[in-house]
Amino acid sequence: MQDLHDEIRANVQRALQEDIGSGDLTASLIPDDKALQATVISRGNAVLCGTQWFDTCFVSLAVDTEIEWFAKDGETVQAGQILCKVEGNARALLTAERSALNFLQLLSAVATQTRRYADAVAGTSAVIVDTRKTLPGLRLAQKYAVACGGGVNHRIGLYDGILIKENHIIAAGGIQPALSRAREIAPPGVFIQIEVESLAELREALAADARMVLLDNFTLDQLTDAVALTRQQAGAPVILEASGNITLDNVRQAAETGVDRISIGSLTKNIQAVDLSMRFI
C-alpha cells in the first residue's frame, strides 16, 4: 500500500477544513489559554483502528497536544474501556474532537466488521479481501482498516491491477480476446483477474489460461463445482475468488467450498460506526 503519512495528513486537512471553515465560533467561548484533559471511551466491543488520524486532527491544531493510547490499532477493545487520554489547549481539543472521532469511529467499524468475517473463515484456506467500494477520498484509510481487522487488500485502484468484468468482456469481444489483450498491456507484476458468471464461462476462462478468476454471484453448490472443475481442467494453479451474496451467515460455507479468496464489498461500504465517547475532565 502507498505510504500512509501523506494520505493521513491530506485526509485530516480536508476534514478539518470542511468542519472549521472560517473558524470555530463556539470554541471562541473558551479562553484561548485554557488547557483541558479528555478521555475516549469505547461503548461497545470493537477492533480499534484510526489512531494516527485521530492524533493528527489534534496535533494539526495544537502541536503540543499530548495523547496517550492504552490500546493499538488492530487490538480488540471492550465496552467501557478507556482508549486514550488527550491533554492540550481547550479550544484545539474542542475544535478537533468531532473530526478525530469521525475517523476513529469509521475506521474502527471497518476493522471490526472485517475481523468478524476473518474469524468466521478461520481454519479454512480462504482469506477475506476488500474491494473498491470505499467512501470517496478515504480508500487508503479504509483499506488500512481492513488490514488491521485481519483482511487482505485487493487492488488499490484501477492502476495497479486488471479486473476484467462483464462489460469489459463484451467490449473486447469475449473472454479469450480480453485475456489476450490484458496480457499484452499488463505492466510487470500487475495481476490479471477475470470475472465469470457461470461454470460455462469458467471453462472458457480456464481454456484461455486464466490464472485468477472471480466467481460472481455463484451459489454454494456452484462454488463447489467451480473448485472441482478448476482442479480438473487447469494446468497450473488458479486463484478462485468468490464474490456476491456472501454474508456473515454463509461466509463459512463459502470458504469451505475450497475457494482461495472471498471479497466483501460491505466491509467498507455498509458500515455502522463504532460508538465512542470523548469525555472532558
CATH code, domain with 150: 3.20.20.70
Give strand ranges (E) for 24-105.
35-42, 46-47, 66-69, 76-77, 82-89
Residue 229 CB neighbours (<10 A): 16
Indicate if 154 and 258 belong to the same structural domain. yes
Indicate if 84 and 129 belong to the same structural domain. no
Residue 136 DSSP label? T
Which cell goes with 23? 473558524
Q: How far apart are CA 87 and CA 234, in angstroms?
A: 60
- For 173, residues 6+ apart whose C-beta sits below 8 A from its C-beta are none
Task: Reply yes or no on whether the pLDDT at 234 is more than 90.
Answer: no
CA atoms within 13 A of residue 163's CA, in its CB half-sphere: 16
Phi, psi (5° rounding) for residue 213? -130, 135
Indicate if 215 and 154 belong to the same structural domain. yes
Residue 43 DSSP label? S
Partnered with residue 79 across adjacent β-strands are none
Burial (CB count <10 Å: 0-12, 13-18, 19+), residue 111: buried
pLDDT tens for 9-20 read: 999 999 999 999
Q: Order of strands, edge to edge, in the sheet holding 192-196?
A: 127-129, 261-263, 239-243, 212-216, 192-196, 162-164
Indicate if 65 and 198 belong to the same structural domain. no
Residue 88 to residues 41, 55, 99, 280: CA-CA distances in angstroms?
A: 18, 12, 16, 11
Which active-site residues does the annotation give?
98, 133, 165, 195, 216
Q: Are 45 and 79 in contact (CB under 8 A)?
A: yes
Q: Cα 49–145–65 angle (5° rounding)? A: 35
Nearest by Cα to 253 from 279, 219, 226: 219
DSSP string, 175-187: HHHHHHHHHHHPP
Q: Are 20 and 97 in contact (CB under 8 A)?
A: no
Q: How far apart are CA 31 and CA 28, in angstroms?
A: 7
Indicate if 84 and 143 belong to the same structural domain. no
pLDDT tens for 55-98 read: 999 999 999 999 999 999 999 999 999 999 999 999 999 999 99
Indicate if 76 and 137 belong to the same structural domain. no
Task: Reply yes or no on whether the pLDDT at 235 is more than 80.
Answer: no
pLDDT tens for 180-212 read: 999 999 999 899 999 999 999 999 999 999 999
Task: Reply yes or no on whether the pLDDT at 107 is more than 70.
Answer: yes
Indicate if 45 and 71 belong to the same structural domain. yes
Indicate if 55 and 173 belong to the same structural domain. no
- Under the banding of pLDDT at 50, 70 and 90, the label for residue 257 is very high
Indicate if 30 and 84 belong to the same structural domain. yes
Rg (CA), the chain: 23
Q: How far apart are CA 183 and CA 232, in angstroms?
A: 24
Indicate if 89 and 140 belong to the same structural domain. no
Indicate if 27 and 149 belong to the same structural domain. no
pLDDT tens for 113-132 read: 999 999 999 999 999 999 99
Q: Mean pLDDT over residues 225-252, rounded?
A: 94
Q: What CATH number has the domain bearing residue 91?
A: 3.90.1170.20
Residue 104 belongs to what domain range?
A: 4-118+271-280
Number of domains forming the structure of the chain: 2
Q: How far apart are CA 186 and CA 4, in angstroms?
A: 26
Q: How far apart are CA 54 and CA 96, in angstroms?
A: 9
Indicate if 136 and 91 belong to the same structural domain. no
